[in-house]
């Protein structure tokens, strides 16, 4: 396998050391093949919001498994999950299930173009929308981690239609619209950025994008693959009160199985085949196992107090991390919203990818190694958000903060 992994960031290239080979996961914990236990803040990169291998999810999956793994035909469970997503996410009136976030973003871009008849799209520096060609321009996640400004194999003709702006810079977006009249299909963004570290939208930024897209006859698309059902039950759009035209999802709605989805206004989604002419299909899309895990996960999240708990746990964690760093005389800036957090080893503020790049990545690598030695598994990159879950207890947080205190003291 290239680099010994199935997805690049897992290889620990940007933090050094050897990747940990997992054997099993449960609740907030992961065990490696040598039997070492880690408190996990990656959560399979987002899906494990109820904790790994939640007993209710596993039981539901076992039951579903008896009925078969894939139908390749309509199944009742798709309807149930679709109804749950539509009920929860303000922008979604119709939804199509796919198998990954990448697939969802790739399809939504085609839909943006099909609906508007325009080819260009605006994305933001440091935002990651999967690995489809036209998004590999100033992308975050592994692309940022590995310092690839772009990828070989991506034709220039494909990315010629991808325009980029700094995150939180509404004026730059307005300028792009002015320079490309009637040519931009829409704006796609992570409403809260988790692929360039953790960057929150400044007051007025999301609202401003809503306005400017509307004024220009373009679509606003929230990529909520990471933030969906994590920033709140209805995603970032619900939390911030800004409703996009289209939304992509993944991770949490698959409850740990491969899922993606895109949805939005019925008028736009009716363009999708077979309701409309825009082609998009998938052999395993809407398969009963992924739908089951998604439904059960959302049911658990719907229980009273779930998001209050996530918010409180995460706030306690990030406050403790910042205090611990400052206690060791280190520069740090960090924040959290709901079950997502991040910090940068620099003075801050960090409002966009350019500012994020001033973080001390070498020191982060040392921190990562020190934390790993103390049984804490953080994302192996300075440019990935952290994730908490309902399974992280106060004791887990305290143990984590103790490890941070020791590690910061070691690397200062």
**Which residues are catalytically annotated?**
128, 223, 251
Q: What is residue 340's DSSP assignment?
A: E
**Distance (Å, rounded) from C-alpha 342 to C-alpha 334?**
6
For the bound state, the minimum distance from the C-beta of residue 290 to ligand PLP, rounded and expressed in Å, comes to 12
Stretch that binds ligand PLP, among 125-133, 162-170, 173-181, 374-382 (CB under 6 A): 125-133
Among 12, 29, 124, 128, binds ligand PLP (CB under 6 A): 128
- Asked if 145 interacts with ligand PLP (CB under 6 A), we say no
- Asked if 101 interacts with ligand PLP (CB under 6 A), we say yes
Place of tokens 């039950």: 233
- Asked if 195 interacts with ligand PLP (CB under 6 A), we say yes
Q: What is the dihedral of CA 242, 244, 248, 249, to 10 degrees?
A: 30
Smallest CA-to-CA distance from 138 within 172, 165, 113 is with 165
Q: Do residues 104 and 249 make contact, with C-beta atoms less than 8 angstroms apart?
A: yes
Stretch that binds ligand PLP, among 80-88, 144-152, 157-165, 188-196 (CB under 6 A): 188-196
- Look at residue 21 and give its three-state secondary structure: coil
- Asked if 191 interacts with ligand PLP (CB under 6 A), we say no
Smallest CA-to-CA distance from 310 within 89, 55, 92, 28 is with 28
Q: How far from the centroid of its chain's Cα atoms is residue 113's Cα?
A: 23
- Asked if 75 interacts with ligand PLP (CB under 6 A), we say no
In the region spanning residues 258 to 277, those forming contacts with ligand PLP, defined by CB under 6 A, are 260
User: CB burial class (10 A; 0-12, 13-18, 19+) of residue 277?
Assistant: exposed
**Distance (Å, rounded) from C-alpha 33 to C-alpha 86?**
40
- Asked if 45 interacts with ligand PLP (CB under 6 A), we say yes
Q: Whose Cβ is closer to ligand PLP: residue 123's or residue 366's?
A: 123
What are the C-alpha distances in Å from 163 to residues 126, 154, 243, 288?
13, 15, 22, 38
Q: Which residue is nearest to ligand PLP (CB)?
A: 101
Place of tokens 């897992």: 10
Among 190, 245, 355, 396, binds ligand PLP (CB under 6 A): 190
For the bound state, the minimum distance from the C-beta of residue 222 to ligand PLP, rounded and expressed in Å, comes to 9
Stretch that binds ligand PLP, among 100-108, 152-160, 214-222, 402-410 (CB under 6 A): 100-108
Number of residues that bind ligand PLP (CB under 6 A): 17
Among 10, 110, 113, 129, binds ligand PLP (CB under 6 A): 129
Q: Whose Cβ is closer to ligand PLP: residue 51's or residue 101's?
A: 101
**Distance (Å, rounded) from C-alpha 289 to C-alpha 270?**
26
User: Which residues form the interface with ligand PLP (CB under 6 A)?
Assistant: 45, 100-102, 105, 128-130, 141, 190, 194-195, 223, 225-226, 250, 260
């Amino acid at each position: 396998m290239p680099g010994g992994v199935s997805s690049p960031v897992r290889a620990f290239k940007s933090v050094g050391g050897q990747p940990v080979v997992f054997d099993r996961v449960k609740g907030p914990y992961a065990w490696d093949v040598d039997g070492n236990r880690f408190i996990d803040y990656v959560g399979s990169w987002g899906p494990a919001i109820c904790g790994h291998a939640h007993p209710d999810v596993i039981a539901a999956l076992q039951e579903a498994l008896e009925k078969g793994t894939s139908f390749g035909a309509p199944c009742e469970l798709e309807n149930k999950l679709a109804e749950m997503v539509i009920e929860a996410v303000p922008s979604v009136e119709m939804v199509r299930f796919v198998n990954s976030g990448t697939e969802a973003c790739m399809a939504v871009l085609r839909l943006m173009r099909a609906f508007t008849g325009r080819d260009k799209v605006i994305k933001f520096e440091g935002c990651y929308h999967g690995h489809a060609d036209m998004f590999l321009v100033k992308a975050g996640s592994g692309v940022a981690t590995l310092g690839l400004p772009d990828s070989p194999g991506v034709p220039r003709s494909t990315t010629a239609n991808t325009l980029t702006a700094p995150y939180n810079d509404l004026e730059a977006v307005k300028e792009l619209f002015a320079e490309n009249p009637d040519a931009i299909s829409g704006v796609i963004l992570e409403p809260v950025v988790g692929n360039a570290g953790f960057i929150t939208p400044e007051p007025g930024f999301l609202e401003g994008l809503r306005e400017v897209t509307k004024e220009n006859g373009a679509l606003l698309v929230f990529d909520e693959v990471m933030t969906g059902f994590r920033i709140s039950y209805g995603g970032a759009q619900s939390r911030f009160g800004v409703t996009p035209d289209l939304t992509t999802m993944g991770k949490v709605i698959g409850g740990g199985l491969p899922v993606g989805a895109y949805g939005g206004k019925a008028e736009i989604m009716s363009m999708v085949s077979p309701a409309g002419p825009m082609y998009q299909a998938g052999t395993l899309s809407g398969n009963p196992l992924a739908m089951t895990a998604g439904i059960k996960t959302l049911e658990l999240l719907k229980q009273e107090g779930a998001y209050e708990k996530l918010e409180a746990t995460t706030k306690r964690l990030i406050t403790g991390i910042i205090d611990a760093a400052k206690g060791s005389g280190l520069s740090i800036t960090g924040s959290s919203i709901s079950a997502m957090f991040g910090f940068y080893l620099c003075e801050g503020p960090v409002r966009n990818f350019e500012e994020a790049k001033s973080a001390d990545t070498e020191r982060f690598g040392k921190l990562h190694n020190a934390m790993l030695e103390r049984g804490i598994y953080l994302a192996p990159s300075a440019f990935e958000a952290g994730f908490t879950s309902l399974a992280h207890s106060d004791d887990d947080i305290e143990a984590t903060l103790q490890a941070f205190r020791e590690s910061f003291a070691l690397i200062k």
